[in-house]
């Protein structure tokens, strides 16, 4: 499902409001004295960092809801080295998941079931 222009405008407005809100909240906060080392001892850097954290904290749920609105979901989240997230349509993810389950069954579950059956037969033959 492709979002309409109205939906895109609403999404943009919500993200912009989150950004403006983060900047205002950061500016309203008083920088601690002394300014922490992670802010390089600068009150300006401290406020920028606080604004970025607040914006990220708001953007993640906004993006998640936006993807849900489109019938999509996150399919890959990466760590700090390669920060990001990928999303694909839920129908595509379902097809890939079904293929993965079939491969798992063929490559792991069936051979394991045969091995368990063989082991049960050996144990039965030893006991009786």
Sign, Cα dihedral of 55, 57, 60, 63? negative
pTM over 0.75: no
Domain-by-domain residue ranges, the chain?
Answer: 1-70
Stronger pLDDT, 72 or 82, i.e. the higher one: 72
Tell me 81's DSSP state.
G
Stronger pLDDT, 86 or 39, i.e. the higher one: 39
How large is the average pLDDT for residues 85-108? 67
Angle at 79 between CA 74 and CA 86, to 5 degrees: 25
- Per-residue pLDDT tens for 15-60? 888 888 888 888 888 776 787 676 776 777 878 888 888 888 888 8
Please tell me the distance from the alpha carbon of residue 63 to that of residue 69, in angstroms, as a whole number: 10
Supply the pLDDT for residue 79.
59
100-to-13, 78, 88, 94, 112 alpha-carbon distances in Å = 39, 20, 16, 10, 17
Please tell me the distance from the alpha carbon of residue 72 to that of residue 91, in angstroms, as a whole number: 8
- Confidence bin at 10 (pLDDT 50/70/90): confident
């Amino acid at each position: 499902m492709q979002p309409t222009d109205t939906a895109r405008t609403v999404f943009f407005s919500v993200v912009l409001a989150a950004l403006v809100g983060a900047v205002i909240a950061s500016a309203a906060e008083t920088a601690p004295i002394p300014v922490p080392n992670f802010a390089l001892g600068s009150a300006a850097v401290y406020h920028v960092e606080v604004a970025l954290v607040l914006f990220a904290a708001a953007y993640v749920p906004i993006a998640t809801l936006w993807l849900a609105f489109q019938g999509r979901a996150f399919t890959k989240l990466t760590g700090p080295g390669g920060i990001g997230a990928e999303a694909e349509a839920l129908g595509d993810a379902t097809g890939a998941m079904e293929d993965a389950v079939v491969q798992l069954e063929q490559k792991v579950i069936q051979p394991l079931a045969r091995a368990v059956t063989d082991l049960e037969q050996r144990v039965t033959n030893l006991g009786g």
